[in-house]
Copies of this chain bind each other. A is one copy, B any other.
Amino acid sequence: MAILDGIKNSSDIKKLNIDELKTLSEELRKKIIATTKNNGGHLSSNLGVIETTLAIHYVFDLPKDKLIFDVGHQCYAHKLLSGRKDGFDKIRTDEGISGFPSREESEFDIFTTGHAGASISSSLGLLEARNRQNEDYCVIDVVGDGSIVNGLNLEAITASEEKPKNFIVILNDNEMSISKNVNGFYKIISKGTAKQSYLKKKDVFKKIFGESFITRFLRKIRNGIKRALNKNGFLFEKFGFKYVGVIDGNDIEELVKVLTRIKDFSKNKAVLLHVKTKKGKGMESAEEHSDYYHGVGKDFKTSEGVFGKTLGNTLADKIEKDKKIVAIAAAMKDGTGLKTVEEKFPNNFIDVGIAEEFAVTEAAGMAAGGLKPFVCIYSTFLQRSFDQILHDVCLSSLPVTFCIDRAGLVGADGKTHQGVFDLSYLLPLPNMKIFAPATSSDLKLMIEYALSANSPIAIRYPNISEEVTDIKSVGDVTKWQEIVAGDMAVILAVGPRMLKIALGVSEKIKGVGVVNARTVKPLDADILNSISDKVVITLEENALIGGFGEYVKSFYSDQSTGTKVLSYGVKDEFIKHGSIKNQLIKNGLCEEEIILGILSVCAQKEIL
A contacts, CB < 8 Å to B: 103, 110-115, 118, 121-130, 132-133, 149-152, 154-156, 158-162, 183-185, 187-188, 224-225, 227-229, 231, 235, 238-240, 323-324, 326, 352-353, 355, 357-358, 361-371, 373, 383-384, 386-388, 390-392, 394-396, 415-416, 421, 424-425, 427-431, 543-547, 549-551, 553-554, 557-558, 560, 562, 564-565, 567, 572-574, 601, 604
A366 lies within 8 A of B126 (CB) = yes
A2 to B364, CA, bound (A): 40
A362 to B112, CA, bound (A): 14
Sampled A-B contacts (5; CB under 8 Å): A155-B355, A224-B228, A428-B546, A554-B554, A560-B604
Known: A238-B188, A323-B132, A391-B118. A369 touches B160 (CB 8 A): no
Write the nearest CB–CB distance from A96 to chain B, whole angstroms.
19
A370 lies within 8 A of B546 (CB) = no
Q: Determine which residue in A133, A367, A430 has the highest number of CB atoms from chain B within 10 A of its CB, and name it.
A: A430
Write the nearest CB–CB distance from A238 to chain B, whole angstroms.
5
Residue of B nearest to A347 (CB): B132
Cβ-closest 7 pairs across A and B: A125-B365, A129-B369, A151-B151, A121-B361, A158-B185, A122-B365, A386-B386
**Given A121-B392, A156-B362, 16 more pairs with CB closer than 8 A:** A103-B368, A110-B368, A118-B361, A118-B391, A125-B363, A133-B369, A154-B155, A159-B184, A159-B355, A224-B228, A425-B425, A427-B546, A428-B546, A553-B557, A560-B564, A562-B562
B114 lies within 8 A of A391 (CB) = yes
Report which of B111, B122, B152, B391 forms a contact with A115, defined as CB distance below 8 A. B391
Write the nearest CB–CB distance from A585 to chain B, whole angstroms.
19
Write the nearest CB–CB distance from A43 to chain B, whole angstroms.
23
What residues on B are CB-neighbors of A326 within 8 Å? Answer: 128, 132
Report which of B366, B551, B572 forms a contact with A550, defined as CB distance below 8 A. B551
Residue of B nearest to A369 (CB): B129
Residue of B nearest to A101 (CB): B396
B364 lies within 8 A of A125 (CB) = yes
A357 lies within 8 A of B224 (CB) = no
Known: A231-B238, A361-B121. A387 touches B115 (CB 8 A): yes
Report which of B122, B150, B567 forms a contact with A554, defined as CB distance below 8 A. B567
